[in-house]
Structure 1
Amino acid sequence: MNSRRALIVRGGWAGHQPVETTDLFVPFLERSGFDVRIEDSSETYADAAVMAETDLIVQSVTMAEISAAAIKGLRDAVLAGAGFAGWHGGIVDAYRANSDYLQLVGGQFVKHPAKAQELIRGDGADSFLPHTIDITELGRDHEITRGISDFALTTEQYWVLHDDLNDVLATTTHPARADQPWHRPITSPAVWTRSWGAGRVFVATPGHDTGVLRDANVRTIVERGLLWASRGEAV
């Protein structure tokens, strides 16, 4: 038996490939010393016995709802030391109507700006923009992002609302554009960590699909973030 237990909770909007993206990281977690349990409903958070034995919660659930019992179970688990981690809408657009969840995560997706109108084709790539993920000064020394340089992606560029309890390891900047209503560049956090009670929270906003998560920089950041967030050490 491995020394730690990871719980993957996945579901919600299928466009974020919750099954395929989380499956990418199961072998990594197992190699890193985790027994992995997979659930398709957030109601597992309401199971106190399951949560008490969980060291790391990996969530990929977009645009869903959560019960009062489930959000209490999730918050209680993180307060007690379980790690909570995820990427893209699976963590920052999971339960947008639940203020207790938003406070726990420290950020909420609000927009991914689209291409200029004359480039819109009506397909899934209309919001895939070239942009840069910029490592912050804090990120250059942090174990999750140490050794990673600023890097380019062409995918959804998340604009998030956030608070200053987050330790921001990377950012991305939305440029001012003549076809958009904002008038100066807007910088949003792209990777952050957060301490909550005895637990740790890790968020990466890149991760729309398996293609983005296979990017060497994104995958390294996510894998390191999962290990950083987890309670305890693997043997």
Structure 2
Amino acid sequence: MAQRRALVVRGGWEGHQPVKATELFLPFLERNGYAVRIEESTEIYADAAEMADTDLVVQCVTMSQITSDQLAGLSAAVVAGTGFTGWHGGIVDSFRASSDYLHLVGGQFATHPGQEPCQRRGGPEDNFLPHTVRLTDLGREHPITAGIEDFELVTEQYWVLHDDLIDVLAVTTHPTQPWHPWHRPVTSPAIWTRLWGAGRIVVTTPGHSLDVLERADVRTIIERGMVWATRTASAS
């Protein structure tokens, strides 16, 4: 059996610690038989031969920009069966100027509501709120999240704009607060999968900081997502 090949692409905004965050998952990939290649930019996406030989892309690139040929290469690889996954802003707040990237992933970060204004001190903790990630009925049965219970976090709670072509494994609800302009609670997908051509996409929105990624539940979901997204024999 040929060794599976994983491509880790990282960069963008340093606030999400793309190097340290991706380093957390390299031992898992290697233990599970992946040959891992690491790239510090999205230029590799334009290399058609390399992408065709890649079974899984793990992306951690917040914001930043992507060229049309790079995005076309990534999209073509996914359609042909390459898996695509990531967490938090590294996948769902990437390449804000690209509507085609949004179309590929199926959801995009809009905001993370913050604490009451009088409690804010100007640091990242201003946007840390206690919230619950709740498994859906599908999530309780899906191999990525089966056996995971609803869990509580105190970190950024992503509000995501999305389409209906995603299969939602977990959600989180933003409540109404006197200092916010919305008038009823809003529920956003927190973990989802997406089938795109022969490829599989997995998005996990928790993961702002290393302590969140190191939680057993979040880490298990991300690692299972990597395996699930990997090119299947029928896609090769």
| Equivalent position SS for 1:103 | helix
Q: Does 1:80 align with 2:80?
A: yes
Give the superposition deviation at 1:83: 0.1
1:30, 1:49 → 2: CA distance? 22
Aligned partners of 1:85 and 1:226 also within 8 Å: yes
2:56 aligned residue: 56
Q: Does 1:45 align with 2:38?
A: no
2:15 aligned residue: 15
1:129 aligned residue: 129
- When normalised by structure 1's length, the TM-score is 0.97
2:198 aligned residue: 198
2:120 aligned residue: 120
2:129, 2:192 → 1: CA distance? 21
1:143 aligned residue: 143
2:91, 2:81 → 1: CA distance? 18
| Equivalent position SS for 2:104 | helix
1:159 aligned residue: 159
Aligned partners of 2:158 and 2:190 also within 8 Å: yes
| Equivalent position SS for 2:125 | coil
2:223 aligned residue: 223
| Equivalent position SS for 2:35 | strand
1:79, 1:117 → 2: CA distance? 45
| Equivalent position SS for 2:189 | strand
1:207 aligned residue: 207
1:96, 1:81 → 2: CA distance? 25
1:35 aligned residue: 35
**RMSD (CA atoms):** 1.1
Matched to 1:52, the amino acid is A
Number of aligned residue pairs: 233
Q: Does 1:68 align with 2:68?
A: yes
| Equivalent position SS for 2:152 | strand
What residue ranges of structure 1 are gaps of 5+ in the alignment?
none
Give the superposition deviation at 1:2: 6.7
Deviations 1:153-178 (A, max 9, x none): 00000001001100000000000111
2:71, 2:172 → 1: CA distance? 29
1:110, 1:164 → 2: CA distance? 17
| Equivalent position SS for 1:65 | coil
Q: Percent identity?
A: 64
2:133, 2:86 → 1: CA distance? 17
Misfit runs of 4+, over 6 Å: none
2:132, 2:119 → 1: CA distance? 20
1:106 aligned residue: 106
What residue ranges of structure 2 are gaps of 5+ in the alignment?
none
Aligned partners of 2:81 and 2:232 also within 8 Å: no
Give the superposition deviation at 1:99: 1.1
2:89, 2:174 → 1: CA distance? 18
2:91, 2:157 → 1: CA distance? 15
| Equivalent position SS for 2:81 | coil
Give the superposition deviation at 1:221: 0.4
